[in-house]
Chains A and B, each alone.
Chain A
Amino acid sequence: RKEVEQDPGPFNVPEGATVAFNCTYSNSASQSFFWYRQDCRKEPKLLMSVYSSGNEDGRFTAQLNRASQYISLLIRDSKLSDSATYLCVLDTGRRALTFGSGTRLQVQP
């Protein structure tokens, strides 16, 4: 079983829609959680950290459910510029990050 599982998508949504991605993880020792964004043929960039209490950054909301071992990302009022691959990332305390394979989002006009 992969340490981090994501639905690869693609999620095709119209502009203005709300879309949510989930990510499940198998290592209960995971300490920190992140969402990274990767545009086509570019490097990953940090979108936001995910805190136990949940956190929001503008149109983006991240949630963590330790009991069920999943994290989520909600994007409200989708923009064309949100089209990208969203990577679920964990820090299990082994001095390295563990990346999911990503969920592709395509926002359509």
Chain B
Amino acid sequence: NAGVTQTPKFQVLKTGQSMTLQCAQDMNHEYMSWYRQDPGMGLRLIHYSVGAGITDQGEVPNGYNVSRSTTEDFPLRLLSAAPSQTSVYFCASSPHAGASYNEQFFGPGTRLTVL
């Protein structure tokens, strides 16, 4: 199993550009989520999904869209990049939504810089 994979690893954008961060998992996990990590702030939840066709907003959803057309894939789309979106983005998955004992498995992250 590859686990959770993310592409690209690094990306530089100009203000106003759009792009999609890709995330895929091969563990048949129901639950997938996107976090951003900024220095001194911990990971903050952007969007999450409890299954194919179902998505919901997290703590910091503004400026981001997600979709979940398959169990495996959960892309994150930046609509119009801003310097405030410079961050490290982590995708995570876990077997079942709402089961608090579930371990979350993280991808290796995407480092995004917006100029």
Q: Which of A's residues lie within 8 Å of B, judged by CB? A: 4, 8, 31-32, 42-46, 49, 87, 91, 93, 95-97, 99-102
Contact = CB atoms under 8 A, between A and B. Distances in A.
B108 interface: yes
Given A43-B106, A43-B108, A101 B42 contact: yes
A100 B40 CA distance: 9
A45 B105 CA distance: 7
B106 A32 contact: no
A32 B97 CA distance: 14
B21 to A, nearest CB: 14
B101 A95 contact: no
A89 B44 CA distance: 12
Contacts of B98: 95
Q: How large is the interface on B (under 10, 10 to 19, 20 to 34, 35 or more residues)?
A: 20 to 34
16 contacts: A8-B40, A32-B101, A43-B90, A43-B109, A44-B90, A44-B106, A46-B104, A95-B97, A96-B33, A96-B48, A96-B59, A97-B45, A99-B35, A99-B44, A101-B41, A102-B42
Contact of B103 (A43, A46, A87): A46
Nearest to A92: B100
B79 interface: no
A49 B48 contact: no
Nearest to B103: A46
Given A43-B90, A43-B106, A97-B104, A87 B42 contact: yes
